[in-house]
Amino acid sequence: MRLFRSGCLVRTTHLILTWVTTLILFLHNTDLRKCEERGELLQPVLFFIVVLLSVLMYFTVSLMDPGFVLSDSDTQPSLEDDELEEMIPNSDVSQRQRRCGYCFLLQPMRARHCKECKQCVRRYDHHCPWIENCVGERNHRWFLLYLCVQLLAVSWGLQTAWSGITLVSSWREWLIQNCFLLGALGVTGVFSVVVVLLLCIHLYLAAVNTTTWEFMSRHRISYLKTCDSEENPFDRGLICNLWDFFCVCQTVAWERVYSRRSNSAV
């Protein structure tokens, strides 16, 4: 199982940080602890559910198939579109496919070989070291949803940690009394900034139907080098892009989308 490979240490670290921080927030004199003492359990229970959901989403994104290309047959799209099939000749599709120099499989358009995972990934976005998995066509939407849940958890944790900081007469006593809360404040603060940045970036990428790899390496990608600097052959407009990103769960034939856009531009 992939859980017990190289990513085991990263996932264990994430799990320990999450639950140790949560335990600190419940044991110290924070808003959560005060609600418990008053018998108002709604807020503590909701916070625990959000943290648990973030952990479950983390492992879902971390362990799921991001869209690995396992054989040459995987390059054939599962999305049925007879009209588009007739409009785009098969020869035009095959000309845009090439064999990967590492795994020697036919590589669909927008796919890339990940050296860490040692496999090609459909609609490759990036390899995330924090989840120790690639972000690709099958798990990109789940990665973005995970960021949303994680942002809610860490921002709520940040506010809770701040609520437990107490003032005392000397700096030494203040540090001793608040050292664990300061650690929780640091962890949630750093993660809040990182998650906000990642969430903004990936919402933008989803809105324009591009990937981190395409955005950063446009000049090295064969199907984008011939396009203008501001042109994206896969962009269908904000609404359609977001609908496709969040609601279309089938494999997309990007060669056909690219060819149709190129033909209409001519």
Q: Which are the catalytic amino acids? A: 128
Helix (H) or strand (E) holding 246: helix 238-247
Query: Alpha carbon of 211 to those of 95, 126, 137, 205, 218: distances in Å?
Result: 22, 8, 10, 6, 10
Q: Contact 17/187 with Cβ under 8 angstroms?
A: yes
Spatial separation of the C-alpha atoms in residues 135 and 241, rounded to whole Å: 18
Pair 30, 164: CB distance under 8 Å: yes
Give 226-237 as a DSSP string: TS-TT--TT---
Residues 6+ apart with CB under 8 A from 84: 253, 256, 260
By three-state DSSP, how is residue 128 classified?
Answer: strand
CB atoms within 10 A of CB 104: 10
Reference 265, options 237, 242, 232; nearest CA is 232
d(CA 201, CA 21) in angstroms, rounded, equals: 27
